[in-house]
Structure 1
C-alpha cells in the first residue's frame, strides 16, 4: 500500500511550508513520497536545506506559473 501524498502550501510564507512538510513526513512511512506545492520564493532555499538536514531525499524541484513543486522521499527507506 502506497503512503505517497500531496501537501498544498500555496499562499503560505516561510517557515510554514517547511514546518508543514516536516509534520506530514513524520506521519508517513519511511520511503514514502511527498509532493509539496509552494508559492513562497524562500521555499527554493528552505526546502532543500530542510531535506538535507533531516536526511530526506529531494527527488525533484519544478517551477511553473509561480508554483514550486518539490518531490521528497522520506528518510529511512529500506
Structure 2
C-alpha cells in the first residue's frame, strides 16, 4: 500500500508492469498483496534463503498465508 504511493510519486502508474523482489519463500504472497494494492501486471523474483533458515521461513510463511487469506489481505 505504501509502495504504491512511493511508486506513483516516481511516475509509475498502477497499470505499468512492476517486479516485486523479496525472499524466495515470500514471492507468492507478495505478488498477491501487490495485486490487492492495485497493480495489474506484477511479477515476482525471489532471493535465495540460506539452507539453515528455510524450515523456519517456510513454516512462518505457511501461517502468514493462512492468516492473510482469513483476514482477506489479498
The answer to which structure has the higher strand fraction is: 1
**Which structure has the larger Rg?**
2
TM-score tier after normalising by the smaller chain length: 0.3 to 0.5
User: Structure 1-normalised TM-score?
Assistant: 0.33
User: Structure 2-normalised TM-score?
Assistant: 0.34
Q: Which has the higher contact order (CA 8 A, sep 6+)?
A: 1
The answer to which structure has the higher helix fraction is: 2
